[in-house]
Amino acid sequence: MIKRRFYIETYGCQMNIYDSGVISEILTGQGHEPADCAAEADLILINTCSVRDRAERKVLTRLSEISATKKGRPDLLLGVVGCMAQRLGKKLTETWMKIDLVVGPDSYDTLGGIITGLTVERDPVVETTQDSECMYAHRPKTFDSVSAFVTIMRGCDNFCSYCIVPYVRGRERSRPLGDIIKEIKHLVELGVKEATLLGQNVNSYRDGKTGFAGLLEAVDAVEGLERIRFTTSHPKDLAPGVIERIRDLPGVCEHLHLPLQSGSDRILASMNRGYSYGDYRRIVNLARSAIPGIAITTDIMVGFPGETRSDHEATLRAMEEIAFESAFMFKYSAREGTHAAGLTDDVEEAEKVARLGQVIELENSIIDTKKQALLGKEVEILVEGESRRESGFLIGRTRKNWLAKLPQKGVSKGEVVVAEVTGVTRWMISCDGSVRKAGA
């Protein structure tokens, strides 16, 4: 058997980061070896995202770059995995680019076999069978980071009208509770202090009688795990029980990522989101009254088909009213095969750009105000490691997910400390003053 040195480049969301870990483990299990960089690899896998056209174009540029280098390196194998592999399948092998394998998210367990049999002379292998029961576990032998993603569900059944995810990721399914807990315990033994539970809609997690609130309890009971985060919470399914667990369970961070998308009820209906702005507001009020100061972050999309200026203003008003701690903001991108792709994409590109600029500007000013209010306050930080930008400094995150830096003296990676905020910028909190171990 030919042993390959593989390198995985990951695009897209946290699910893909998790899956790249799974793939890496599958390949190492088959005797292949990870390489430190693409230049040292003889198998490059690109783990891809299809959520917006731009995400796909970025990958296509990268694939053509690598394909071009294959002329000088005839032994190099190039593979596409992830959501674009699922969406485009065989089409990816029909361009000038030299792609040797295309494997979708439900077929990673076939990768070992495919790669073992693969040679540059062979026709490309395409494996995009969808399997609505497919689940992966991740049990790495070592783990560098103090924070780990743990996928608790795969797929999505919500079919928001703009979204490609249900098509490329298939039907929603939950991992068994016992598997998730075993995986987290294993990661804790490797030094992990924080687990971020992943699913497109974690609030619909279910294993027998256990729902998401029950899962949070079970994860919180894992000894040695300091923090629990989760994403994404779909507003239509957020149960009061989950808010109670955020309030009551010591490990669960006071942070809710709750994508709003739009402040206009007409647009929300057309997006098939299943809630109105009023419903959303009620959830936020419930969360904020139960957990004062809870961080609420969101996703906002501008320029959805039919979005008028007044719909857009409703989004700006909603953002102002709720004052999100942070937001991912996007321009609508039509995805072939989705329901919205059949609507007229009638907001002009220049107008989409302008609207995106407005939501970003508004969110930035909200963040600046929130940051200023932190000056002089104490925050709890989980130290993630040394700063790559500034030597002598460590980087970590507060419970509300603000990025923070603090001097290295007396503190090390993996520790939870309480520190005073002495400086803020839009993206960073600095804590140059007193620092003590949490609980001390």
Q: Could you say which of ligand SF4, ligand SAH, ligand F3S, none residue 166 binds, taking C-beta under 5 to 8 angstroms by partner kind?
A: ligand SF4
Residue 170 CB contacts under 8 Å (≥ 6 apart), including other chains: 105, 106, 130, 131, 132, 134, 154, 155
* C-alpha–C-alpha distance, residues 413 and 403, integer Å: 15
Residue pair 254/400 in contact by the 8 Å Cβ criterion: yes
Q: How far is the CB of 47 from ligand F3S (least distance, A)?
A: 8
Q: State yes or no: residue 205 binds ligand SAH (CB under 6 A).
A: no
Q: State yes or no: residue 419 binds ligand SF4 (CB under 6 A).
A: no
Residue pair 84/49 in contact by the 8 Å Cβ criterion: yes
Give me the 145-184 binding string for ligand SAH, x by CB under 6 A, dash otherwise.
-----------------xx-x-------------------
Q: State yes or no: residue 234 binds ligand SAH (CB under 6 A).
A: yes
Q: State yes or no: residue 85 binds ligand SF4 (CB under 6 A).
A: no
Q: State yes or no: residue 232 binds ligand SAH (CB under 6 A).
A: yes
Q: State yes or no: residue 163 binds ligand SF4 (CB under 6 A).
A: yes
Chain residues binding ligand F3S by CB under 6 A are: 12-13, 15-16, 49-51, 82-83, 164-165, 168-169
Q: How far is the CB of 60 from ligand F3S (least distance, A)?
A: 15
Three-state DSSP at 67 gives helix
Residue 52 CB contacts under 8 Å (≥ 6 apart), including other chains: 330, 331, 333, 335
Nearest to ligand SF4 of 83, 419 (CB atom): 83
Q: State yes or no: residue 335 binds ligand SAH (CB under 6 A).
A: yes
- Cα torsion 225, 229, 231, 237 to 10°: value is 100
The dihedral sign for the CA sequence 106, 109, 110, 114: positive
The dihedral sign for the CA sequence 141, 145, 146, 149: negative
The correct pick among 195, 301, 316, 406 for binding ligand SAH (CB under 6 A) is 301
Q: How far is the CB of 163 from ligand SAH (least distance, A)?
A: 4
Residue 304 CB contacts under 8 Å (≥ 6 apart), including other chains: 162, 261, 262, 267, 270, 271, 332, 340, 347
Nearest to ligand F3S of 47, 147 (CB atom): 47
Give me the 117-156 binding string for ligand SF4, x by CB under 6 A, dash otherwise.
---------------------------------------x
The correct pick among 7, 11, 12, 52 for binding ligand SAH (CB under 6 A) is 52
Contact set for ligand SAH, span 116-135 (CB under 6 A): none
* C-alpha–C-alpha distance, residues 137 and 19, integer Å: 9
309 C-beta neighbours (distance < 10 Å), count: 10
* Token output for 25: 């483990």
Q: How far is the CB of 13 from ligand F3S (least distance, A)?
A: 3
Nearest to ligand F3S of 12, 251 (CB atom): 12
Nearest to ligand SAH of 299, 320 (CB atom): 299
Residue pair 405/363 in contact by the 8 Å Cβ criterion: no
Q: State yes or no: residue 201 binds ligand SF4 (CB under 6 A).
A: yes
* C-alpha–C-alpha distance, residues 14 and 151, integer Å: 9
Rg (CA), the chain: 22
Q: Could you say which of ligand SF4, ligand SAH, ligand F3S, none residue 168 binds, taking C-beta under 5 to 8 angstroms by partner kind?
A: ligand F3S
Rounded alpha-carbon distances, angstroms, from residue 406 to 92, 369, 395: 46, 21, 7
Residue 91 CB contacts under 8 Å (≥ 6 apart), including other chains: none
Q: State yes or no: residue 356 binds ligand SAH (CB under 6 A).
A: no
Amino acid letter for position 81 = V
Angle value at C-alpha 120, between 115 and 125, nearest 5 degrees = 50
Nearest to ligand SAH of 53, 189 (CB atom): 53
* Token output for 233: 């919470």
Q: How many residues bind ligand SAH (CB under 6 A)?
A: 17
The CB-based long-range contact list for 60-63 (8 Å cut-off, 24+ gap) reads 62/9, 63/92, 63/97, 63/99
Q: Could you say which of ligand SAH, ligand F3S, ligand SF4, none residue 332 binds, taking C-beta under 5 to 8 angstroms by partner kind?
A: ligand SAH
Q: State yes or no: residue 160 binds ligand SF4 (CB under 6 A).
A: yes
Q: Could you say which of ligand SAH, ligand SF4, ligand F3S, none residue 49 binds, taking C-beta under 5 to 8 angstroms by partner kind?
A: ligand F3S
Q: State yes or no: residue 345 binds ligand SAH (CB under 6 A).
A: no
The contact set with ligand SAH (CB under 6 A) reads 51-52, 162-163, 165, 200-201, 232, 234, 259, 261, 299, 301, 330, 332-333, 335
The contact set with ligand SF4 (CB under 6 A) reads 156, 158-160, 163, 165-166, 200-201, 234
